[in-house]
Amino acid sequence: MPEKKNVASSQETLLKVEHLCQYFKENKAVDDVSFEVKKGEVFGLVGESGCGKTTTGRSIIKLYNITSGNVYFKGERIAAGTGSYKWEIEKAKKAYTALKKSGVSGEKLKDAKKKRDEVIAEQKKQIRLAQEDQKRRRAVTDIQMIFQDPIASIDPRMTVRQIIAEGLVIRGEKDQKKIDEEVYRVLELVGLVREHAGRYPHEFSGGQRQRIGVARAVVMNPELIIADEPVSALDVSIQAQVINLLDDLRHKMGLTILFIAHDLSVVKYFSDRIGVMYYGKMVELADSDELFKHPLHPYTRSLLSAIPLPDPHYEKQRQRITYVPLKEHDYTVDKPSFREVAPGHFVHCNDAEFARYKEQMKGN
């Protein structure tokens, strides 16, 4: 793994995810998730299988129409869900009906009706605006995604040249010489050679295939790369090479990376900040070092306890902490939300936990 360098990520926000909800019928795959990614930083998004990491990434690149919330890229809203506006309309209608049923009449009822209609008109306006923004596709080529085995789903009869150039062709590039030049440039950038352009994906090893996947993304000159478990299928030694490559490109191209992984040890050295997801919720978010030094949420502690260390003495004593939400939290009355416990360190917690975490941080 690369040495952790403190890359100066700017304070400029490149990506802002605001109250993102992505529901698949009853399944709240992503439920009210908010975070920002600064220009130039690597933001690690971790959590175990099924916690909603992939869905978050896909929602950002608009593979889904999000249920609710907003996604901003360079200040422009590129994805918007209409759910929360619809829920507000329902709430206003229900409140009015309840008032009417309770026997309220005359001026009071008239006022309530007026209020209800105002809420409905405003929310309908928001729905229209969200739908207009959702249709806009402008920012999307500035964001590219890298998958676990990025060329697995591609037609095996396509050459590496065609695979890498596909995005350029779709974007309207017709000049074959220019396309070839770009393909050779990015092949070299990712540690391959121009002779590879005429070959087929099956001729390459897993690590090389991932390099082709990276080339396919960077050829579009993106500002943001969403790397979804890009090294999970690779041997540990190859994992380090691919991470080093991404780290190198990040410096050379000034890239910003949203790095999705299920394993905290993979993101530790590479990420400036880390967000931990559990069952559709972001449960903790902090600077990478801070998260490892002062993990607060019991789920983060459980993930950390699963990381093996190359120290036999520690390994003998290491105990995997299991996270059992019902044992850890009582959210029946005191409800949780995502709160800032220390500057830049956020935890999903209720009032009682918030007070306890604050105390804990004081002792650190």
Ligand X SMILES: Nc1ncnc2c1ncn2[C@@H]1O[C@H](COP(=O)(O)OP(=O)(O)OP(=O)(O)O)[C@@H](O)[C@H]1O
How many residues sit in the footprint of ligand X (CB under 6 A)? 12
Please report how close the Cβ of residue 24 comes to ligand X at its closest, in angstroms: 3
CB of 67 to ligand X, least distance (A): 12
x/- site string to ligand X, residues 10 to 39, per CB under 6 A?
A: --------------x--x-x----------
Of the two residues 9 and 300, which places its CB atom closer to ligand X in the complex? 300
Of the pair 30, 179, the CB lying nearest ligand X is at 30
Between CA 181 and CA 253 the distance in angstroms is: 18
Angle at 44 between CA 40 and CA 47, to 5 degrees: 165
Pick the closer one to ligand X by CB: 184 or 299: 299
Q: Where does this chain touch ligand X (CB under 6 A) — which range of 44-52, 200-208, 244-252, 290-298?
A: 44-52
Of 40 and 81, CB closest to ligand X: 81
The piece of 1-9, 43-51, 166-174, 309-317 that touches ligand X (CB under 6 A) is 43-51
Report CA-CA distances (Å) from 330 to 106, 296, 324, 351: 44, 16, 12, 11
Question: And the tokens for 340?
Answer: 């800032």
Q: Is position 196 an interface residue for ligand X (rule: CB under 6 A)?
A: no
What is residue 294's DSSP assignment? S
Which residues is 339 bridged to in the sheet? Answer: 347
Q: Which of 98, 93, 81, 108 is nearest to 20 (CA)?
A: 81
The Cα–Cα gap between 263 and 181 comes to: 37
> Is 228 in contact with 53 (CB distance < 8 Å)?
yes
Helix, strand, or coil (residue 342): strand
CB-CB neighbours of 202 under 10 Å = 8
269 vs 279 by CB, closer to ligand X: 279
- 67 or 82: CB nearest ligand X: 67
CB of 139 to ligand X, least distance (A): 22
Look up residue 3 and give its DSSP letter: P
In the complex, what is the shortest distance from the CB of residue 92 to ligand X, in angstroms, rounded to a whole number? 30
Restricted to residues 290-319, the positions that interact with ligand X (CB under 6 A) are none
Least distance (Å) between residue 55 CB and ligand X = 3
Distance in angstroms (rounded) separating the CA atoms of residues 303 and 311: 18
Q: How far is the CB of 328 from ligand X (least distance, A)?
A: 20
Nearer to ligand X among residue 49 and residue 102 (C-beta): 49
Q: Report d(CA 323, CA 296) in Å as an integer.
A: 13
**Strand (E) or helix (H) holding 2:** none
Which residues inside 49-88 make contact with ligand X, applying CB under 6 A? 49-55
In this complex, which beta carbon is closest to ligand X, that of residue 30 or of residue 168? 30
Q: Which two tokens stand for residue 129?
A: 């605006």
Question: What residues between 248 and 267 interact with ligand X by CB under 6 A?
Answer: 262
C-alpha–C-alpha distance, residues 214 and 210, integer Å: 6
Q: Interface residues with ligand X (CB under 6 A)?
A: 24, 27, 29, 47, 49-55, 262
